[in-house]
Amino acid sequence: MSSETIQHRHLPDRLDKPLSAALRSWETLLAVVAVAIFIFNSFASPHFLNAWTLSDMTFNFTEKAIIALPMALLIIAGEIDLSVAAILALSSTLMGFAMQFGLGTPALVCVGIIVGLICGAFNGALVTGLGLPSIVVTIGTMSLFRGLAFIILGDQVYKNYPDGFEYFGQGYVAWVISFELVLFLAFAALFGFLLHFTTFGRRLYFIGRNPVSAQFSGVNVKRMKFILFCLTGVMSGVASVLLTSRLGSTRPSIAQGFELEAITMVVLGGVAITGGAGSILGVVLAALIMGLVTFGFGLLNVPGIVMSIFVGMLLIAVIALPILWKRFVWVLKK
């Protein structure tokens, strides 16, 4: 067979225009939802459109959202970490423990982050080393890590953190712009870059879609997953520094239920729970939406649990609508 007889077909890069694809994307939908809630809030409460109010609002989500960022990568890679809140509690406890020995603020931050790293590495080692499903492993470690915090601290409290420590959770970079918000946005940019513009991020999608074939293509799946668990641990440590600083004290019961909220942000942000799809922009928008909903309703003194109905419905609706819409269009075409 000679090559002249073959007419090579030209393969275009893509069929649809990037812009129209972007307009139809999940992120657009989320942005519309966020704007709608924002407008609703401004009409519903006279106190909403106020720089300080908006600034206070961000505290409702920044710490959870900081955990949601690495969680998004982890879920894209087909894993999950339910132990993040427990890591946060343990790392806060050990920070408090270290403080008793007179460590200064920078050292305490290191302790918090390193404890997070160790916990993450422990999860990662169990998942990648023994090949256990992460949901199962982290159900176990969520009890273990928080349990360790209880063993260390019992019914006691660590407080009187050193001067300067309160800045992380209570400080403002400028005017109403809090340190937590700036840190979150910086991390969001960093994770966005990592996921969407680097080879690391690209490989993540492959791992999420088909880990076996990724491995057969030379991707070191175990190492990458291990790194992701460590990253999630580290970011839980960072969140721990923020929360501990914001509360000014540590008890082993802090951050109860953070894991499900962080996961809700990730899923609402359009990250496929089955792995292999999702974006950081979506997660950021989802975090913002959750902040807008919880704080906006809070201003109206709607009980938190009623807001959670709203968040739950939003989660289901925002995921159901595109599916139903596509189906509707398909039926119309026929």
Partner 1 sequence: MAQASTISKSAPALTLSGISKSFPGVRALHQVNLSLYPGQVTALVGENGAGKSTLVKVLTGIYQPDEGAITLDGKRVTLSSAQTAFELGITAIHQETVLFDDLTVAENIWLGHAPRKRFGLIDWAAMNEKARAVLAQMHAAHIAPETRLRELSIANKHLVAVARALSIDSRVVVMDEPTAALSAKEINELYDLVALLKSQGKAILFISHKFDEIYKIADRYTVFRDGEQVGEGHLKDTAQNELVKLMVGRSVDKVFPKHHAKIGDVVLSVSGLSHPTEFENISFELHKGEILGFYGLVGAGRTEVMKALFGMTKPSAGTIAMDDRPLAITSAEDAINAGIVYVPEERGAQGLGTGLPIFMNVTLPSLKRTSKSNVLRLKNEFDLARRYTERLDLRASSLSQDVSTLSGGNQQKVVIAKWLAMSPKVIILDEPTKGIDIGSKAAVHEFMAQLVAEGMAVIMVSSEIPEVLGMADRVIVMREGLVTAGFENKNLQPETLVRAAAGIE
Partner 2 sequence: MLNTLLKSRESLLAAAIIVLIAAVATRFPGFAAPSSLAQAFNDTSILIILALAQMTVILTRSIDLSTASNLCFTGMAVAMLNKAHPELPIVVIIVVSLLWGLALGAFNGLMVWKVGIPPIVVTLGTLTIYRGLTFVLSGGAWVNADKMSPAFIEFQRQSLLGIPVLSWIALLVIAAFWLFLRNTKTGRDIYAVGVNPTAAVYTGIDVGRTKFIAFCISGLVSGLAGYLWISRYVIASVEVANGYELNVIAACVIGGISIAGGVGSVAGAMMGALFLGLIGLALPVINVSPFWQLAISGAAILVAIILNARGEKTKGRLILKRATAA
Partner 3 sequence: AQAENLKVGLLVKSLGNGFFDAAHKGADNAAKELGDTEVIYTGPTKATAEGQIEIINSLIDQKVGCIAISANDPDAVVPALKKAMDRGIKVISWDSGVNEKGRLLHLNPSDTGLIGETIIKLAADYLPDGGEVAILSAASTAANQNSWIDAAKKVLPEKFPKIKLVDVVYGDDDSAKSTDVAKGLLKAHPNLKAIIAPTTVGVVAAAQVVTDAGLIGKVNVTGLALPSEFKKFIDNGASQAVALWNPIDLGYSATQLCHDLTVGKAEAKPGAELSIGKVGKIKLDDHNTAAMAPPFQFDKKNIEEFSKIY
CA distance 231 to 287: 19
Q: Which residues pair with 178 in a beta bridge?
A: 172
Q: In the set 4, 6, 163, 301, which binds partner 1 (CB under 8 A)?
A: 6
Options 12-20, 115-123, 136-144, 278-286: segment touching partner 1 (CB under 8 A): 12-20
* Residue 37 binds to partner 2 (criterion: CB under 8 A): no
Three-state SS across 234-298? HHHHHHHHHHHHHHCEECCCCCCCHHHHHHHHHHHCCCCCCCCCCCHHHHHHHHHHHHHHHHHHH
Question: Given the complex with partner 1, which of 52 and 193 has the nearer CB atom?
Answer: 193
Q: Which helix (H) or strand (E) holds 172?
A: strand 172-174
Q: In the set 199, 301, 303, 305, which binds partner 1 (CB under 8 A)?
A: 199
* Residue 11 binds to partner 1 (criterion: CB under 8 A): yes
- Decide if 230 contacts 121 (C-beta within 8 A): yes
* Residue 324 binds to partner 2 (criterion: CB under 8 A): yes
For strand 172-174 and strand 158-159, is the pairing parallel, antiparallel, or unpaired? unpaired
CB atoms < 10 A from the CB of 94, how many?
26
* Residue 201 binds to partner 3 (criterion: CB under 8 A): no
Give the contact letters, 152-171, x = binds to partner 3 (CB under 8 A), - = no: --xx-x-x------x--xx-
* Residue 17 binds to partner 1 (criterion: CB under 8 A): no
CA distance 158 to 37: 39
Give the contact letters, 214-243, x = binds to partner 3 (CB under 8 A), - = no: -----------------------------x
Q: In the set 37, 109, 183, 214, which binds partner 1 (CB under 8 A)?
A: 214
Question: Given the complex with partner 2, which of 18 and 303 has the nearer CB atom?
Answer: 303
CA distance 307 to 312: 9
Return all residues near 214 (Cβ < 8 A) that are at least 6 apart.
Answer: 203, 206, 207, 221
- 3 state SS of 174: strand
Q: In the set 13, 175, 301, 303, which binds partner 1 (CB under 8 A)?
A: 13
* Residue 82 binds to partner 2 (criterion: CB under 8 A): yes
- 3 state SS of 155: coil
Question: Given the complex with partner 1, which of 167 and 200 has the nearer CB atom?
Answer: 200
Of residues 218-277, those binding partner 1 (CB under 8 A): 218-220, 276-277
Q: In the set 28, 52, 200, 202, which binds partner 3 (CB under 8 A)?
A: 52
CA distance 126 to 96: 27
CA distance 118 to 112: 10
How many residues contact partner 2, by CB under 8 A? 46
CB atoms < 10 A from the CB of 136, how many?
12
Amino acid at site 285 = L
Question: Given the complex with partner 3, which of 139 and 260 has the nearer CB atom?
Answer: 260
Q: Which residues bind partner 2 (CB under 8 A)?
A: 82, 126, 130-133, 135-137, 139-148, 150-151, 154-155, 257, 260, 263-264, 267, 272-274, 303, 305-309, 311-313, 315-316, 319-320, 323-324
Q: Which residues bind partner 3 (CB under 8 A)?
A: 45, 47, 50, 52-53, 56-57, 59-60, 154-155, 157, 159, 166, 169-170, 243, 246-249, 251, 253-257, 294-295, 298-299, 301, 303-305, 308
